[in-house]
């Protein structure tokens, strides 16, 4: 499957292990990813907060580039925040013909146009995996079922709300995909209070307490529910849950030590790839225990 691929900013910045993991996993899933290396940041909701026309234009530019990739089925992103920010812009672009034409006027000097096309889509890797690749196909490729690994899913707000805008009418189970994938990979999905809540990243500079109390609480809930690790499809969530976890411990007044995996890393482990090549040594909260458990599986 050929796809236009938008890796986002953070995967090439502060979470390079994510970018690397995708590069390793894609070929195993028969994905030909054409990286949009000229495309710009999605705005992460902050640019839309500042100026909607600007955010819509910047994303129309990315969409137009993706639509220009010959033979691509659609566009794939690897970040819940990109998904949500881009879906919001796409909703406005698709809703009003005159508005879309106006926005296209800004990218026309580059020879770009965003076409409203019901058949074209922008999907997060999580959605793509379930809807385009299919869980059956995924299961066939699993060589190392993650038996006994208890994984707590953390979606990230931008990929589960608002449901009206994120295609839940056509795909009502999108807020259960992580659990479904974890189970398909042989692992045990863990239910806990924070799975669909907010990591707090959007307010980390503006109100650290509000931000890290959330991150801390959700990691604590996952811990209390018996999870071995958390998995998330959003690198911004990853930053607040992993990079900030030591700080978050202070706000919830308990030791956490909850490793947070990127979604492609979890897949990679089940597909037989090694933790090191998936960048699992580049986390702030050590993933050593998970690695040990996974290594034991290989032996068994």
Partner 1 sequence: MPENYALKIRRFDPESGEPAYWQDFNVELEPERSVLDGILQVRGDQDGSLAIRCSCQAAICGSCGVKINGRSRLACNTLIGDAAAAAKNGAIVVEPMGNMPVLKDLIVDMDAVHWKKVQRVVPWLLPDGPPPDREYIVPAEAMIDITQSMACIHCGACVSACLSLEVDPEFVGPAALAKAYRFVGDPRDGQTEARLRDLAQDPHGIYDCTHCFQCVEVCPKDVAPMDQIMRLRRRATDDFEIKDSNAGYGHEKAFVNLIEKYGTLHEAQLLPRSYGQGSLIRSQLDPNSLKELAGSLSTVINGLKSGKVSPVKALWHHKLPDQKNVRRIFKEIESKDERLELNLYIVGESGDDEEGAMAEGSQES
CB-based burial of residue 208 (10 Å sphere; 0-12 exposed, 13-18 middle, 19+ buried)? middle
CB of 200 to partner 1, least distance (A): 6
User: How far is it, in rounded angstroms, from Cα 187 to Cα 228?
Assistant: 11
Residue among 40 and 67 whose Cβ is closer to partner 1? 40
**DSSP letter at 221?**
H
Residue among 144 and 217 whose Cβ is closer to partner 1? 217
The CA–CA distances, whole Å, from 22 to 35, 118, 191, 233 equal 11, 27, 26, 11
Q: Name the residue among 80, 66, 88 with its Cα closest to residue 11.
A: 80
Residue among 146 and 278 whose Cβ is closer to partner 1? 278
CB-based burial of residue 253 (10 Å sphere; 0-12 exposed, 13-18 middle, 19+ buried)? exposed
**DSSP letter at 35?**
E
Residue among 33 and 48 whose Cβ is closer to partner 1? 48
H or E segment to which residue 267 belongs? helix 263-270
Residue among 144 and 208 whose Cβ is closer to partner 1? 208
Which residues have CB under 8 Å from 27's CB, separation 6+? Answer: none
CB of 137 to partner 1, least distance (A): 28
CB of 81 to partner 1, least distance (A): 10
CB of 250 to partner 1, least distance (A): 10
Residues 87, 88, 93, 96, CA torsion sign? positive
User: How far is it, in rounded angstroms, from Cα 268 to Cα 275?
Assistant: 8
CB of 136 to partner 1, least distance (A): 25
Residue among 106 and 254 whose Cβ is closer to partner 1? 106
Residue among 30 and 49 whose Cβ is closer to partner 1? 49
Q: Quickly list H helices, 74-132.
A: 80-95, 97-107, 125-128
CB of 74 to partner 1, least distance (A): 21
CB of 47 to partner 1, least distance (A): 6
């Amino acid at each position: 499957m050929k796809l236009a691929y938008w890796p986002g900013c953070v995967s090439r910045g502060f979470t390079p292990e994510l970018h690397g993991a995708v590069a390793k996993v894609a070929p195993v899933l028969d994905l030909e990813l054409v990286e949009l290396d000229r495309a710009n940041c999605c705005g992460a909701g902050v640019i839309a907060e500042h100026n909607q026309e600007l955010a819509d234009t910047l994303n129309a530019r990315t969409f137009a580039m993706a639509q220009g990739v010959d033979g691509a089925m659609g566009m794939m992103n690897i970040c819940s925040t990109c998904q949500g920010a881009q879906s919001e812009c796409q909703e406005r672009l698709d809703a009003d013909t005159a508005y879309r034409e106006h926005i296209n006027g800004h990218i026309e000097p580059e020879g770009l146009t965003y076409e409203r096309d019901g058949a074209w889509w922008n999907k997060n890797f999580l959605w793509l995996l379930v809807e385009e690749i299919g869980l059956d196909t995924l299961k066939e490729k699993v060589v190392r079922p993650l038996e006994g690994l208890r994984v707590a899913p953390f979606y990230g707000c931008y990929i589960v709300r608002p449901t009206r805008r994120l295609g839940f009418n056509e795909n009502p189970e999108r807020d259960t995909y992580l659990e479904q994938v974890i189970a398909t990979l042989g692992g045990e999905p863990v239910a806990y209070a924070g799975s669909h809540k907010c990591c707090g990243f959007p307010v980390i500079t503006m109100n650290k307490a509000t931000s890290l109390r959330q991150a801390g609480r959700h990691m604590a809930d996952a811990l209390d529910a018996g999870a071995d690790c958390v998995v998330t499809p959003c690198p911004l969530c990853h930053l607040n849950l992993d990079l900030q976890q030591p700080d978050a411990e202070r706000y919830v007044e308990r030791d956490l030590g909850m490793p947070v995996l990127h979604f492609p890393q979890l897949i990679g482990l089940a597909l037989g790839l090694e933790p090191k090549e998936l960048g699992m040594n580049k986390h702030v909260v050590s993933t050593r225990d998970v690695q040990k458990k996974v290594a034991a599986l290989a032996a068994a």
